[in-house]
Structure 1
Amino acid sequence: MKSTAIVPFKQNNSALTRRPQSQRRGIHSNVLPPAANVAGAIDRYFGINLNALAQMSDQQWAEFADRAREMKRLREVLPILDRHFQELIEGQLEYEQFVQKFLKLGGAAAQKIDKGILDAYLLSLGYNNHLKLMSQQSVQGSQKLNAEFQSAFSLNELDFQTSLKLVQLRRQNRAKQIRERVPNYLKQQQISEQQRRVSQQRKELLTNGTQSQRGGFFGRIGSFFSGW
């Protein structure tokens, strides 16, 4: 009867080193890394110790199944997270660009308004000095100009303040919408995970019977070979 024992992998290079150089076809010691280095890299990057595999218990082997299930869950959610993260980042970027755009426009408009006020004030001073040199009849004209100026100034100020208020309200509404996404998404993920677990347990039971609730994959292999 053929032996079913699992033995650790060992690379033996003694036969290779005794072969003539002409028979070592396609093998270069300066190209192929030692097996120990490859096994170490597999252990370091993937947490799979090939040298210790044969000595592991059923519980240790079962941990690979747990890790594989967790990795599968992560891979399933990565495309969803990719879309959400891109939406959050791109949305935040567009919002910041939007705010900066109107800050620049508002700042430039405010400077123009201030300059207009200053010009009007200086003009008013010069005109008042001019009116003082004129007859009393020019006083009525000066009052009319001042009244028109105050009206225009008030309307400009009201329009500017209203624009700032509208920008602030749009920002608050957008921020509220963004904050509401996270709890809604988490609740949806929790429901999906519960449904997935129930479906997976039912599939395991229907596929493997009650044996799926005892031991692991390697435990079933051991019981299969023990009947030989």
Structure 2
Amino acid sequence: MPSTEIVRFRPGQSTLARLPQPQRRGIQSNLLPQAGNVARAMHQYFGIDLNALPQMSDPQLAEFANRAQEMKRLRQALPILDQHFQELIEGQLEYEQFIQKFLKIGGKAAEKIDKGILDAYLLSIGYNNHLKLMSQQSATGAQKLNAEFQAAFSLNQLDLQTSLKLVQMRRQTAQKQIRDRIPNYQKQQQISEEQRLANQQRRDLLMNGTQQQGGIWGRFSSFFSGW
């Protein structure tokens, strides 16, 4: 706003000196003061400070040209990079899926192999124990055969009378063992007969029920029913 101050005239002073001198005004934008956050976002996201443009030196302004050339060169490479990056990302995904697939297959196969190794180990232990048992039984059998051979050899060394006595004693022992078995056999036969009768009675009960004829009249009825 122009100044309204009254300037007193002095002799010898130029008329232009009495006029107010205009203030020097730099380049300014009328919109930026209203832009607010938008202008700040331009500076933050793109590195472009619109407020500082009028005060920038030529080297500073030339930096925008350098950045623009770099961006242009990058944009030219973007379609190629798009293919490369897509190939890299999709390839990495397929590779990881491939690894995951065969890790599962390999893990299950490894479990089966481990189980097979364990089974083979246990079979080996069992077979080794079997061989030890066979060896012990073989040694015991050899000792028994040797003892019998020694006994037979000693028997041959005895005279005939002594040999006959030994044979007689063995026969008596065998006969006694047979006699001892007879009562047990008879007892077993008796138990078998009792079991047979019990089974027969149970079968009759299941077939005829509890109302079956019994006692003497039942036996008479059974007797006459046979006529």
Q: TM-score, normalised by structure 1?
A: 0.38
Q: Computing the radius of gyration over CA atoms, which structure comes out larger, 1 or 2?
A: 2
More contact order relative to length (CA 8 Å, sep ≥ 6): 1
Q: TM-score, normalised by structure 2?
A: 0.38
